[in-house]
Amino acid sequence: MLKPKLLTKTLQQTNTDGINGTMLFNSDGSLIASSGDRDKNRTIAAITANIWQTYQKKSNDPLINSDLNVVMINCKEGKVIIKEVCKMFLCVHSGNDVPTGILKEKLISLAKFLEPSLSKIVI
Amino acid sequence: MNQLQDTQNFLLNLLEKIFGLETIYITDNQGVVLDQISKTQNIQKKEFIFGPLFANLSNQTSKLGFGENQSITTFYKEKIMVQIQLNSIILSLIGDLDLNVGLIDSYIPTFTQAFQHLIETVGEIEKNKKEINL
């Protein structure tokens, strides 16, 4: 069983050094847990789920021909990065001042940490 | 013709300078291929599906609440693709897992300068299209 409060607390720990929000959501973009501005996270989850699915569907193009691992979106005023973990999606967003490498490493570390627990959930 | 040659030379230079880089596409905002070059693949077919894909997704990413989309980097299990919005054109760079994404990011102002003539030309065409439609 997922412990929602504990999960939210864990996600909150990522929100340091310029990271504004961390969330876990389903492939349809519906939030499972999040920390930060909930309304903003809800919008980000919905849009990024679609972006992920769009790139994943085309991953068998001969130029790529491999599965998607991480998507990183760089906008004028912020960054969003998404990774799949156990058929769910982990996402972190920040302002533009956070180095992309740190954002990616934090996301991957969080995914590794959550994977053993999330793998026990059947979706 | 000189400008076309300059673009090709610049792309060739990039392929040599950036470690891990394999293929470069330049497309307009509708995904139409304007130029391409590849180290590993013989790109016969002109269609590049990620061009229009990025153009469509750029509209969505602008709704994230972080302003206009600048680039999307997709890390696959065996490849990395960096797609950059340069005003009226899209630059797509595909490489292996050694591709230096940080270096590509730092080159964005250089890309804007190098492709300025193409950006202006395509921008002018898009502007004329809209005027005709009105």
Tokens matching residue B2:
């000189």
Q: What is the pLDDT of residue A1?
A: 63
pLDDT in tens, A56-105: 999 999 889 999 999 999 999 999 999 999 999 999 999 999 999 999 99
Q: How far apart are CA B100 and CA B80, in angstroms?
A: 9
Instruction: Pick the residue of A64, A68, A76, A83 with the most B CBs within 10 A to test the interface with B by mutation.
Output: A64
Please tell me which residue of chain A has the smallest CA distance to B70: A75
Q: Do A71 and B76 touch (CB under 8 A)?
A: no
Instruction: Please say whether the beta carbons of A84 and A10 come within 8 A.
Output: no
- Closest residue to A44, CB basis, from B50, B64, B101: B64
Please tell me which residue of chain B has the smallest CA distance to A75: B69
- Closest residue to A72, CB basis, from B57, B73, B79: B73
Q: What is the pLDDT of residue B44?
A: 57
Q: What is the pLDDT of residue A6?
A: 87
Q: What is the pLDDT of residue B123?
A: 87
Instruction: Pick the residue of B25, B37, B58, B74 with the most A CBs within 10 A to test the interface with A by mutation.
Output: B74
Please tell me which residue of chain A has the smallest CA distance to B42: A63
CATH class of A4-60+67-118: alpha beta
CB of A68 within 8 Å of any CB in chain B?
A: yes
Q: Do B65 and A40 touch (CB under 8 A)?
A: yes
Q: How far apart are CA A67 and CA A60, in angstroms?
A: 8
Domain ranges of chain A: 4-60+67-118
**Minimal CA separation from B77 to chain A, in Å:** 6
CB of A108 within 8 Å of any CB in chain B?
A: no
**Minimal CA separation from A44 to chain B, in Å:** 6
Q: What is the pLDDT of residue B80?
A: 97
* Chain centroid to CA A98: 16
pLDDT in tens, B20-50: 999 999 999 888 899 899 987 666 555 789 9
Average pLDDT, chain A: 92
ipTM of the complex: 0.93
A30 band by pLDDT with thresholds 50, 70 and 90: very high
Query: What does the pLDDT average to over B80-100?
Result: 95
At a CB cut-off of 8 Å and minimum separation 6, what does A10 contact? A110, A113, A114
Q: What is the pLDDT of residue B43?
A: 62
Higher model confidence: residue B96 or residue A2? B96
Structural domains in chain B, CATH included, are 3-125 (3.30.450.30)
Q: How far apart are CA A10 and CA A106, in angstroms?
A: 12
Looking up tokens 């302002």, which residue turns up? A95
